[in-house]
């Protein structure tokens, strides 16, 4: 695969989905009082991105992690209480790790299904 064929129309469409899924993960991190929902949502959405781009899912995962981290640091207001801040940070960094794992699993599933 050459460099010029890496950035095609399909990848740019999936980057839009990555932006949308990152926003959903940020909302889950901010609004839920526990870490379970952000972890589930991050894993499910990242698996979907890996399934959409079985060979370039790693790129979408990197973009999603960057968007999640920058969005949380620059846009989302920091909670006042230390307990809330700790839960949000735990949800944030755990979701970032699970994004890579989910994308990897989605890519593996897609390639396995394509092989038959």
| CA 19 – CA 59 distance, rounded (Å) | 13
- Segment 49-59, tens digit of pLDDT: 999 998 888 99
- Maximum CA pair distance of the chain? 52
Confidence of residue 3 (pLDDT cuts 50, 70, 90): low
- Segment 49-106, tens digit of pLDDT: 999 998 888 999 999 999 999 999 999 898 889 999 999 999 999 999 999 999 999 9
Confidence of residue 26 (pLDDT cuts 50, 70, 90): very high
Predicted TM-score (pTM) above 0.85: yes
Q: Is 23 in contact with 86 (CB distance < 8 Å)? A: no
Q: Is 55 in contact with 104 (CB distance < 8 Å)? A: no
The DSSP line for 58-116 is HHHHHHHHHHHHHHHHHTSPPPSSHHHHHHHHHHHHHHHHHHHHHHHHHHHHHHHHHH-
**2, pLDDT greater than 90:** no
So where are the chain's domains? 48-76+86-115
């Amino acid at each position: 695969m050459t460099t010029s064929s890496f950035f095609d129309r399909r990848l740019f469409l999936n980057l839009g989905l990555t932006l949308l899924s990152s926003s959903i993960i940020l909302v889950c991190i901010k609004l839920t009082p526990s870490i379970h929902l952000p972890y589930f949502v991050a894993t499910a959405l990242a698996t979907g991105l890996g399934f959409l781009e079985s060979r370039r899912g790693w790129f979408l995962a990197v973009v999603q992690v960057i968007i999640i981290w920058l969005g949380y640091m620059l846009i989302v207001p920091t909670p006042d209480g230390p307990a809330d801040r700790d839960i949000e940070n735990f949800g944030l960094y755990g979701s970032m790790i699970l994004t890579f794992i989910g994308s990897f699993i989605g890519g593996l599933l897609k390639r396995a299904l394509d092989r038959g």
